[in-house]
Amino acid sequence: MSRPAFTDVPQPDELARAEARQRHATLIKPVESLGRLEELGAWIAACQGVCPPRPFTRPRVVIFAGDHGIAAKGVSAYPVETTAQRLDALLKGDGVPNALAGVAGAGVRVVDLAVDADTSVQEFKVRRGSGSIDVADALSGAEVEAALRVGVELANNEIDSGADLLVAGDLGVGVSTPSAVLVAALTGTEPVGVVGRGSGIDDNAWMRKAAAIRDALRRARAVLADPVALLRTSAGADLAAMTGFLAQAAVRRTPVLLDGLPSAAAALVAEELVPNARAWWVASHRCAEPAHELALQHLDLKPVLDLGIRLGEGAGALAALPILAMAARLLTDVATYPDAGVTPPDGVA
């Protein structure tokens, strides 16, 4: 099986972006008085290629679930079996993203890529768990290519079914460790600069995690020139599929609201695979993981929210989604000075 061949990424429509900025200057409010909301509305218009933009009608969160061999080294506050248990809770509608999605008006889909258990959503399963990345590759060559193809297929499925905004969420014990390795490798950061508290680990677990990232980073740097080899060596089927998902969303001209550290790490690799894909992404929030901030800086993305969220599972993106909806509605629902019969300020026609 060969790796997916991504086509070039089209750029968002700069004419529509300019039209959105010009429209904001004619709305019944002081010029540029809505700050980042105006910038986000212009981005949505550029992605859709029309101004005013259309309200989002089918935002979709796809949660990529998988276990990681490195979790056996004590880098998480939770035992490995927690992944399957939390996945089951999501399918029953009892998880955090279920509650947030109900408010944000988004659909949630959970996909098992590498959970170390049998689940009811393993149609796209690549393997159970992954190699312990401090001493072994996460995946085989065939497995990483299969995971990338799953991500592409999931993006195509959602977009062909009418999704007009996508979110990639994560679910897996230990996922912040390979995510931190990917970020450190692609940003040239030393291990201590990317080690966070993840699931709420104590000092001893933090030291174990730092050692695991140090050892995994040595292996990652040997394949840094090849993004697919980097995923094979240091990621896992969930992160590799997420990478394909984010890259294909950009190819398909579909905006993406990035979530926390795992999606940012996958985005870094996707940008290496498909340059300029980041033009189709917005960072939903700044999470509490130091590697997340490094990834966003490298991608030149400014987060919408800063609420200290570190859960993953699409939680930060779902919290930010209503703000994007507001940004679009401002351009469709607010009257212009001529339409409202309001005297404009000097310099506004």
Residue-range domain boundaries for the chain: 59-322
Tell me how far the alpha carbon of residue 136 is from its chain's centroid.
26
Catalytic residue among 158, 289, 293, 313: 313
Check pLDDT > 90 for residue 136. Answer: yes
Which tokens go with 202? Answer: 């104590």
Mean pLDDT computed over every residue of the chain: 96
pLDDT category of residue 4 using cuts at 50, 70 and 90? confident
Q: What percent of the chain has pLDDT over 90?
A: 94
- Quick check: is 313 catalytic? yes
pTM of the model: 0.96
pLDDT at position 346 is 78
Q: Kindly state the average pLDDT of the residues 329-342.
A: 95
* Residues 290, 286: Cα–Cα separation, whole Å: 9
Phi and psi (nearest 5°) for 287?
A: -90, 175
Q: Under a CB-based contact definition with an 8 Å cutoff, are residues 51 and 331 in contact?
A: yes
Per-residue pLDDT tens digits for 57-116: 999 999 999 999 999 999 999 999 999 999 999 999 999 999 999 999 999 999 999 999
Check pLDDT > 90 for residue 319. Answer: yes
Cβ contacts of 131 within 8 Å, gap of 6 or more: 69, 137, 138, 139
- Per DSSP, the chain holds a count of helices (H) and strands (E) of 13, 5
pLDDT at position 348 is 72
* Residues 254, 261: Cα–Cα separation, whole Å: 21
Q: Which fold has domain 59-322?
A: Rossmann fold (3.40.50)
* Residues 121, 123: Cα–Cα separation, whole Å: 6
* Residues 303, 64: Cα–Cα separation, whole Å: 22
Q: Largest Cα–Cα distance of the chain, in whole Å?
A: 70
Q: Kindly state the average pLDDT of the residues 169-176.
A: 97
Residue with tokens 């001529």: 338
* Residues 235, 133: Cα–Cα separation, whole Å: 8
Residue with tokens 């509490």: 288
